[in-house]
Amino acid sequence: MWMGQGPSYEEVHEIAKTLEGKTKYRPTLGIVCGSGLGGLGDLVEEADIIPYDEIPHFPVSTVPGHMGKLVFGKLKGQIVVLMRGRLHCYEGYPMWKTTIPIRVMKALGVETLFLTNAAGGINPDFNTGDIMIIRDHIDFAGLSGECVLRGANDERDHIDFAGLSGECVLRGANDERFGPRFLATVGTWDDAMNELAEKAAKELGLGDILRRGVYVMIGGPTFETVAESRLLKNFGADAVGMSTVAEALVGRHMGMKVFGISLITDKCCLDYTTAKVTTHEEVLAIGQKRAKDLQSLALKI
């Protein structure tokens, strides 16, 4: 009997089988749309659209800017499956549940995973509207233990370590049919795909807003305090969000090629004198503003 967290290998394949009964497409590329970036779904031609709530055992999206639909179809002739709406731990799902769709993608035949997200800029050189190729990540959730940073506090503020962390998505019993117990994560983000993305962005004239950097995943749903942003900067993060890393790890666990981009939708505050409040509405608005550029980039890649 399966004693792990999350869907068993058999359940994942059962979901995939259901989907294969609803679409003729057999995708090899999987795309996950970040907050406000669902417009990528409009590029998919001759689409079969399947709402998450019509898929057995599938979690539903609850966040504005995430429609909760799987889109199967063609992108420049390539057969893709696109998640128009992702799932986040802060919605109340255990981490493993947020990545059921990634496991299902693999069962459908997907070999390459393209992850997109909206993120806060931690690197002071980053501007709102910049596009960051994800060179590496920090799995804050997976790294965390008990009060390892006790004392790293700023007296004017707090560090909500529990809120920042969560749990590693691969925690629990391991089924070797999915992947190995101990996953090496060096090289999670595919160099060749990153090169390709960079080349594509430059050819599109997006070179000036192109960055490369480290994405850190926190649990959310709180945006960072000033103290937390400083902490993340000291950790070596360039951008912060509440998604993506768990999906990348699950993708790698199953041997997928993974690459991704972050749209910097706001600048995280590192200084109390200039601190301003971030809102999800603002995040979505920047997504809208950059929608065309991101669509062109995705197509070119």
Ligand X SMILES: Nc1nc2[nH]cnc2c(=O)[nH]1
Ligand Y SMILES: O=P(O)(O)O[C@H]1O[C@H](CO)[C@@H](O)[C@H]1O
Helix (H) or strand (E) holding 196: helix 191-203
H-only helix segments in 37-148: 95-98, 100-108, 140-143
Q: How many CB atoms lie within 10 A of CB 244?
A: 26
Does 268 interact with ligand X (rule: CB under 6 A)? yes
- Residue 243 binds which entry of ligand X, ligand Y, none, CB below 5-8 Å type-dependent: ligand Y
Residues in contact with ligand Y by the rule CB under 6 A: 34-35, 63, 86, 88, 117-118, 220, 241-244, 280, 283
Rounded to the nearest whole angstrom, what is the least distance from the CB of residue 53 to ligand X in the complex?
Answer: 25
Please check whether residue 49 is in contact with residue 133, taking contact to mean a CB–CB distance below 8 angstroms: no
Rounded to whole angstroms, what are the CA distances from 89 to 15, 71, 126, 155, 166? 21, 22, 26, 29, 8
Residues 110-169 that bind ligand X (CB under 6 A): 118-120
Q: Which of ligand X, ligand Y, none does residue 88 bind to, with CB < 5 to 8 Å depending on kind?
A: ligand Y
**Parallel/antiparallel/unpaired status of strands 78-84 and 69-75:** antiparallel
Minimum distance between the CB of residue 233 and ligand X, rounded to whole angstroms?
A: 12
Distances (CA, A) of 203 to 102, 127, 158, 199, 200: 30, 21, 44, 6, 5
Residue 218 binds which entry of ligand X, ligand Y, none, with Cβ cut-offs from 5 to 8 Å by kind?
Answer: ligand X
Residue 119 C-beta: closest distance to ligand X, Å: 5
Choose, by CB under 6 A, the member of 61, 112, 144, 265 that binds ligand X.
265
Compute the least distance from the CB of residue 255 to ligand Y, in Å: 24
- The item of ligand X, ligand Y, none sharing an interface with residue 30, based on CB under 5 to 8 Å by kind, is none
Contact 240, 213 (CB under 8 A): no
Report the C-alpha gap between 142 and 128 in whole angstroms. Answer: 28
The yes or no reply on residue 283 touching ligand X (CB under 6 A) is: yes
d(CA 301, CA 296): 9
Shortest distance in whole angstroms from residue 268 CB to ligand X: 5
DSSP letter (8 states) at residue 92 = T
| Residue closer to ligand X, measured from CB, 85 or 120 | 120
Closest contact distance (angstroms) between CB of 25 and ligand X is 31
With a CB cutoff of 8 Å and minimum separation 6, the contacts of 284 are 35, 36, 64, 65, 118
Cβ proximity to ligand Y, 31 vs 118, nearer residue: 118
86 binds, among ligand Y, ligand X, none (CB under 5 to 8 A by kind): ligand Y
Q: Binding ligand X by CB under 6 A: which of 161, 266, 284, 290?
A: 266
260 binds ligand X (CB under 6 A): no
188 contact, one of ligand Y, ligand X, none, CB 5-8 Å limit per kind: none
Q: Does 242 bind ligand X (CB under 6 A)?
A: yes
Do the Cβ atoms of 230 and 98 come closer than 8 Å? Answer: no
Burial string for 15-42 (b: 16+ CB within 10 Å, else e) reads: bbebbeeebebebebbbbbbbbbbbbbe
Q: Which does 123 bind (CB under 5 to 8 A by kind): ligand Y, ligand X, none?
A: none
